Structure 1
Amino acid sequence: MTKKKAAKQPKKTSYTKYILWFWGLFLGGISILILLFLLAGWGVFGKMPAIDQLENPETNLATEVFSSDGKTLGKYYNENRTPIKYEDLPDNLINALVATEDVRYYDHSGIDAFGTLRAVAYLGSRGGASTLSQQLAKQLFHGEGSQNIIARISQKMKEWIIAVRLERSYTKEEILAMYFNVYDFNNNAVGVRSASRIYFGKEPEKLKIEEAAVLAGMFKNSSLYNPRRNPKGVTNRRNVVLLQMAKANYISQQEKDSLQQLPLKIDYHPESHQSGLATYFRMYLRDFLKDWAKEDPAPDGDTYNIYQDGLKVYTSIDSRMQKYAESAVERHMKNLQAKFDEKNKNNDGMPFRDIGKEDIDKIIKRAMKNSDRWHQMKAKHIDEDKIIASFNKKTDMRIFSWKSENDIDTLMTPRDSILYYKSFLNAGMMSMTPQTGEVKAWVGGINFKHFKYEHVKQARRQIGSTFKPFLYATAIDQLHLSPCYQLPNTVHTIPAGKHGVTKDWSPKNSNNKYGGMVTLKSALANSLNTISARLMDKVGPEPVIDLLAKLGVDTENIPPVAAIALGSVDLSVFEMVSAYSTFANKGVYVKPVIVTRIEDKNGTILYQHVPESRDVMSEEAAYVTLNLMEGVTQGGSGTRLRTTWSPAYYKDVVTGHPYEFKNAIAGKTGTTQNQSDGWFMGIVPNLVTGVWVGAEDRSVHFPGIRYGQGATMALPIWGLYMKDVYADKDLDISKGEFERPENLSINVDCNGTDEESENQTEEEKEEEELSNNLDF
């Protein structure tokens, strides 16, 4: 019997080698990944930040300027970034960010494993894997990343490493604060504090939930979700953030539904070097800070950079008073310009007067050469004839106008634009506390964007009759004269050879009224040049100039001649206010202060103001001079500040009259030749304010004295400003009397000789006021 062959058995499959291959590949991949991370950490794929850089990441920090009442006046920056501490971030802002960008933020250590696996599994369709720590690493150290896949992988590894280091070096709260501080929200808003102020006009701590959701939504893409350009997209994105907040239980479903129905409300407050509050002051302050930085270097010898070192500058400016000052200038100048334009309708030389075509051409040519257009074309080596020809070709431009809140689009030749801007009246105004020297308000012009020349410190203009109190003060201090002292109101001649006079000098009164004896108080109130000539003859010009120098005035270019008695000298508003403040401060001059303290970004004090003062005149002489100037508002060119009526011609210039001030006010108006400059200096016991109004060129002015005098051009700004200042009770501006010296030996009670008649008709009052106000 033949044996059967055994059936062939199936061969056993061995999985060992597959398992070994799997673990080999897995462990090899892990090893390669670890190696790659090590190489990235060692900087093989590009420079990695050292740990000290992580602790002190380099960011451009804006220098912030604060008012005396704690408000931000403005900033100097390359990037408008002002850091905020975690404790100053509201919960709803933090919750909105975490819920939207990294809901497991408090549970991971820089890398979200679940988020990473989800991103890989779904190829990013269900959300990315970057944590807030990773996003901060990208923001701080290498921006938005590369489109190259190899470079992107390398960068992602570096982000992971940096994120882990950040988590080890900082608390979760510190990382959040850093992230809020470095993000660019566009429109000059770098960091959440700037964004909150720019888009909503408030500090972050005051943001509502829906407002916080808008800013949190912008972290996805601030260019796409820009509230100014894409309100619909921003609204949708805000609602997504609110939905995420509800999912994370930061808000209820009911709150979410209610908030999503709200319309998008943006309160845009641009922050730039050309907009905002106190623009002219900030321009002057910028130069002040640059000079300070040169003279006071940092401990390491470097010069402080006001655009990126995050300094904090505390100023004397009061934001409320600054607003009132800017408002007063704007309200008055808008109306005054309308009247000025009306008076120029039939002016063939518009806007110039009293000069010929040759002089006009010189003014225009000079303006051309000072323009950006000229400098830019010159830099390209373009022929001068071609440059001049370009000024006669019409071009699109945006121009300033009082008739619109925004600039107006127009087609105009550059030459015509020069004439257009020459036709505007401008203004300078400064307000100061005489006892401390603190400058509380500073308005250098009508519009910083279009009129860069500053009219508080930079400009110097003839001061007219506002010079006379310096002459009277000198006479009182030297000769112990009383306001009741009388002199004849007749033409007085100072002969050639005396007091710097080259030929006989016999100044006449602007109102051409003479005769009788007048008191010094009446003479100053009505700006009688005959009395000024007599006083100058008694004291001489040198003592007056010496007094000016002690009052902080630059007297280098003031000649010692008798004619200065009528105000032929050029001074700045800054000098005038600081000088007049001495009268209100009992004869003690206090140097004006604009910066009280400067700190670095860590709060270390770098500069502390030290007051400077000196005795200039006796308390008695200062008080008597004030008493003289009170006469200006009691019966002279400043009387309209007190009256319950207003001349018909004056109502055309400024509305809201009368002022009806009842308190003690010392003041002086001033008008220069041809009505080129109008001044008013106003003093109350704890505030001195000076105002100048005029055009850039002295040949641009009103044709007559009715509108061209200081009492009409400048005084109304003071009146409007003080009405607002007094209405704000928190400012505590005095309405009391000037403090009388205890042992006053000079008689200041003139028995009513300077009082106005109460029986005049309005027509008689108007005629007399117009006559009295001719104060050259």
Structure 2
Amino acid sequence: MAKAVKKKESKPFFKFVKWFWILFLVGIISAVMVFLLASSGAFGDLPDFERLENPQTNLASQIISSDGELLGKYYLDDNRTDVAYDQLPKHLVDALVATEDARYFEHSGIDARGTLRAFFYLGKKGGASTISQQLAKQLFTGLAARGWQRYTQKIKEWVIATRLERQYTKEEIIAMYFNIYDFGNNADGIRSASRIYFGKEPKDLDVKESAMLVGMFKNSSLYNPTPNRNPKGTLNRRNVVLAQMAKYGYIAQKEKDSLQKIPLSLNFSPENHREGLATYFRMYLQGFMNDWAKKNPKPALKGERDKWNLFLDGLKIYTTIDSRMQKNAEVAVEKHMTKLQAEFFVQNTPERNKTAPFLDINKEEINRIMERGMKTSDRWREMKKAGKSEKEIRASFTKAIPMKIFSWTSKTRSKDTVMTPLDSIRYHKSILRTAMMSMEPQTGHVKAWVGGINYTHFQYDNVYRGTRQVGSTFKPFVYAAAIDQLRKSPCDHIMDTQHCIAAGKHGNTDAWCPKNSNGKYSGEMMTLKEALANSVNSITAKLIDEVGPEPVVAMAKRLGITSDIPAVPSIALGTTDVSVYEMVGAYGAFANQGVYVKPVMVTRIEDKNGTVLYEYTPETRDVMSKDVAYAMVNLMEGVTHGGSGTRLRTSGANSNMYKEIITGYPYGFKNPIAGKTGTTQKQSDGWFMGMVPNLVTGVWVGGEERATHFKSVLYGQGASMALPIWGLYMKSNYENKDLGISDKAFTKPKNLSINVDCAKVNQELEEENNPADDLDDLDF
């Protein structure tokens, strides 16, 4: 009887085991079938082998300085720069594995234990997505779908994850995951995130910083450390990551407790196209790269673009800009222009100047300036594009609205205010602008480029695009032509008297009788060196009359001046408009023993894999002999010894004005310096061109409108407006010995055929004019 009962009880158990194995096998077969269906594309397209090998992620192109620093990037939506696994600190990888996928190095793309746990507990005890699955989602499946599509998407992620595991090593997958993730605030990928949130490269992150960034993987929008987002929640999330690292033995419990007490300690440095170092240069470079891309087709793979895209293809652009010198240049501009602008405002109050900020023009001319300002503004363009009538557009310019205006007194250089758009145009036209470029004359390598005072408010680049009257900085071209063509010497004497060039001569339509800047003539003989040092117009006029305008124009053209120069005598005083870029290139030939080297900004371009796509070839030409070039350098050294550039060497200020606006004065340079100041009519433009043996730098300062200028030459001359920027810049350069800026003499040619020893010539001339004095020296 007992046996019969036992037999009956075993039947249900056998049934249970039977159905268990049936369901288990059905489950396995179903899972295999689902995988096979997914692999065949039944749930949607999957990436083929080629796409798995070359996943299409948008990469920002990098701008790299000559000293190896990242100057900036070009990107659209993705500010991404890939980092290799060996550039990731171990604790960053540890934090990721501990928090996101503890068994990462044990599975092959799918964590079976985690998946079963998520299935049985319906996700209440954590999800099951591995790092490989999350990468598959980021690369190929996109945002999470809903409903049935969410399940099919999950299956596709499983399939892609296993394929990724076969295609790449574990380390490569981790690197790809760090590089693909969007950390917010234009921080796409770990390198951008490290730089933007902590101002450092990934390899330099410490444990708590790594933990914070890994914590953002949960939701970078929610766990964002910036003050206007969620710093408290981000801190809590970082501490969770530290706890996970301690749980799995990556850090000690004591270290975890210590690190959790430390605040976030951000060094938030946003990256965008209008901020950072060398903004104007970066915008020039964008145009250069666009031109290069048009001329150089891309050897595209299947499905790729056939043209290089600066914002998506991850190019590496190696430039000649030195980040240290660029920083020195920008600081010099800021220091001087802050004080110069303050003085300009003092002199242009409504009480002192009823037409401020304009001088020497009538109401009709002011109206034309303001009309042009309106019609070229973003407001006019956008409203016209929106279909607004001209009457509506004009009316909008007279209504006061909240806006941001430029201000040197604001730390951010932007000031919140309320004013009419028309008043804001007038206000911004009162802001003085500047341009500065610095170049190594032997190579043509441009080391610093400052196209303006603030790219956010003023996008116009005054280095390359802007051309302004060059004033007396053009005179060296006249002297060079005279020395080259007429075999003149810096020690030749010419009398300082007014000189007129008659109508009809040298293409003149009217007689030309230029005056000296002070309106006076000494009537005495002076050397060419003295004449250039003191920028004597009468002697420059005599030289161009003697040599002719055509040879001067030819000389300027050979020196790289591409701007239009009419062959008329008045060009001798710098009436033509030339860019800072052209002037620096031209002066470089004087410092480079007569050889012109075209300015170079890009030395090499590489694709994302390091393949070289472009290498520059220097463009050079002989313009003048070494003797003529040295004679010109010798002439311009006189400018800093006895001319308008003398303040570079003095040890004290000449007046309280200099102490106030000539920032950094006195400079006290003792090394050889050649240079030339320039001041145009009504002080609309101030220039200084300065040279040492291995660096040529040009500086221009002026208003956007020529009518925006200082009333007196004391403030408006090139020696007051532009020269101080050069002085500050060079002082900073010399303080950094690693830059290797020369403080030696310019190279003197062997067997120099042109006499530059003016002291000896002056002595001989004096003895010739005073023969009686010779008797006193005779030894009877």
- Verify the 8 A CA contact 1:82 1:194 in the aligned structure 2: yes
- Verify the 8 A CA contact 1:587 1:619 in the aligned structure 2: yes
The residue number in structure 1 matching 2:243 is 243
C-alpha distance in 1 between matches for 2:582 and 2:67 = 25
SS at match of 1:38: helix
The residue number in structure 2 matching 1:713 is 721
**What is the CA-CA distance between 1:122 and the residue it aligns to?**
2.6
The residue number in structure 2 matching 1:676 is 684
- The yes-or-no answer on 1:574 pairing with 2:581 is yes
- The yes-or-no answer on 1:461 pairing with 2:457 is no
- Verify the 8 A CA contact 2:663 2:724 in the aligned structure 1: no
Task: State how 1:335-350 maps to structure 2 within 5 Å.
Answer: 335-345=339-349, 346-350=352-356
Candidates 612, 615, 618, aligned match of 2:622: 615
**What is the CA-CA distance between 1:17 and the residue it aligns to?**
4.4
- The yes-or-no answer on 1:224 pairing with 2:230 is no
**What is the CA-CA distance between 1:250 and the residue it aligns to?**
1.3
The residue number in structure 2 matching 1:49 is 47
**What is the CA-CA distance between 1:34 and the residue it aligns to?**
2.4
1:143-179 Cα shifts (integer Å, max 9, x gaps): 231132x111111111111111111111100000100
The residue number in structure 2 matching 1:773 is none
SS at match of 1:706: helix
TM-score by length of 2: 0.94
1:608-635 Cα shifts (integer Å, max 9, x gaps): 0111111000100000011010010001
Q: In structure 2, do the counterparts of structure 1 residues 499 and 248 end up closer, same or farther at CA, with 3 Å as the change threshold?
A: same
Q: Which amino acid aligns with 1:88?
A: Q
RMSD across aligned positions (CA): 1.7
Q: Which amino acid aligns with 1:309?
A: D
Candidates 727, 752, 758, aligned match of 1:750: 758
C-alpha distance in 2 between matches for 1:432 and 1:524 = 23
- Verify the 8 A CA contact 1:337 1:424 in the aligned structure 2: yes
Candidates 441, 447, 469, aligned match of 2:448: 441
C-alpha distance in 1 between matches for 2:617 and 2:394 = 51
C-alpha distance in 2 between matches for 1:590 and 1:29 = 75
- Verify the 8 A CA contact 1:493 1:504 in the aligned structure 2: yes
- Verify the 8 A CA contact 1:522 1:754 in the aligned structure 2: no
SS at match of 1:547: helix
The residue number in structure 2 matching 1:450 is 457
C-alpha distance in 1 between matches for 2:474 and 2:371 = 34
SS at match of 1:147: coil
- Verify the 8 A CA contact 1:525 1:636 in the aligned structure 2: yes
Percent sequence identity over aligned pairs:
63
The residue number in structure 2 matching 1:196 is 194
C-alpha distance in 2 between matches for 1:382 and 1:688 = 50
1:288-337 Cα shifts (integer Å, max 9, x gaps): 00101111112359221111111110000000000000110111111110
C-alpha distance in 1 between matches for 2:218 and 2:262 = 21
248-257 or 710-719, which deviates more: 248-257
Task: State how 1:10-25 maps to structure 2 within 5 Å.
Answer: 12=8, 14-15=11-12, 16-25=14-23
1:531-571 Cα shifts (integer Å, max 9, x gaps): 0110011100000000111111115x211100000100000
- Verify the 8 A CA contact 2:598 2:618 in the aligned structure 1: yes
The residue number in structure 2 matching 1:517 is 525
- Verify the 8 A CA contact 2:559 2:586 in the aligned structure 1: yes
Q: Which amino acid aligns with 1:248?
A: Y
- Verify the 8 A CA contact 1:631 1:754 in the aligned structure 2: no
SS at match of 2:652: coil
The residue number in structure 1 matching 2:363 is 357
1:666-704 Cα shifts (integer Å, max 9, x gaps): 000000111110000000000000000001110111111
The gaps in structure 2 that reach 5 residues or longer are 764-780
Task: State how 1:256-295 maps to structure 2 within 5 Å.
Answer: 256-295=256-295
SS at match of 2:596: strand
C-alpha distance in 2 between matches for 1:753 and 1:122 = 102
Aligned residues: 747
1:110-165 Cα shifts (integer Å, max 9, x gaps): 111121222223322222111100110111112231132x1111111111111111
Candidates 283, 305, 310, aligned match of 1:306: 310
1:352-381 Cα shifts (integer Å, max 9, x gaps): 111122221211111111112111111122
Candidates 321, 324, 340, aligned match of 2:325: 321
The residue number in structure 2 matching 1:403 is 409
**What is the CA-CA distance between 1:729 and the residue it aligns to?**
0.2
**What is the CA-CA distance between 1:754 and the residue it aligns to?**
9.6
- Verify the 8 A CA contact 1:582 1:588 in the aligned structure 2: yes
SS at match of 2:501: coil
725-734 or 226-235, which deviates more: 226-235
The gaps in structure 1 that reach 5 residues or longer are 1-5, 756-776
**What is the CA-CA distance between 1:277 and the residue it aligns to?**
0.6
Candidates 46, 59, 62, aligned match of 2:60: 62
The residue number in structure 1 matching 2:297 is 297
- Verify the 8 A CA contact 2:470 2:578 in the aligned structure 1: yes
- Verify the 8 A CA contact 2:658 2:665 in the aligned structure 1: no
SS at match of 1:140: helix
SS at match of 2:218: coil
TM-score by length of 1: 0.94
Q: Which amino acid aligns with 2:587?
A: Y
The residue number in structure 2 matching 1:429 is 436
- Verify the 8 A CA contact 1:521 1:754 in the aligned structure 2: no
- Verify the 8 A CA contact 2:663 2:728 in the aligned structure 1: no
- Verify the 8 A CA contact 2:549 2:568 in the aligned structure 1: yes
C-alpha distance in 2 between matches for 1:713 and 1:387 = 37
SS at match of 1:251: coil
C-alpha distance in 1 between matches for 2:376 and 2:606 = 37
1:504-554 Cα shifts (integer Å, max 9, x gaps): 211110112312111111110111100011001110000000011111111
1:474-504 Cα shifts (integer Å, max 9, x gaps): 1111112121111111101111111121122
Candidates 390, 394, 405, aligned match of 1:384: 390
1:247-270 Cα shifts (integer Å, max 9, x gaps): 121111121122112121111111
Q: Which amino acid aligns with 2:56?
A: E
- Verify the 8 A CA contact 2:53 2:167 in the aligned structure 1: yes
Candidates 336, 349, 368, aligned match of 2:374: 368
Q: Which amino acid aligns with 1:320?
A: R
**What is the CA-CA distance between 1:47 and the residue it aligns to?**
1.1
Q: Which amino acid aligns with 1:322?
A: Q
C-alpha distance in 1 between matches for 2:217 and 2:475 = 63
The residue number in structure 1 matching 2:771 is none
The residue number in structure 2 matching 1:32 is 30
C-alpha distance in 2 between matches for 1:506 and 1:358 = 30
- Verify the 8 A CA contact 2:99 2:241 in the aligned structure 1: yes
- Verify the 8 A CA contact 1:635 1:754 in the aligned structure 2: no
Q: Which amino acid aligns with 1:335?
A: K
SS at match of 1:313: strand
- Verify the 8 A CA contact 1:64 1:311 in the aligned structure 2: yes
- Verify the 8 A CA contact 2:597 2:620 in the aligned structure 1: yes
Q: Which amino acid aligns with 1:742?
A: K
Q: Which amino acid aligns with 1:358?
A: E
Q: In structure 2, do the counterparts of structure 1 residues 265 and 143 end up closer, same or farther at CA, with 3 Å as the change threshold?
A: same
- Verify the 8 A CA contact 2:138 2:180 in the aligned structure 1: yes
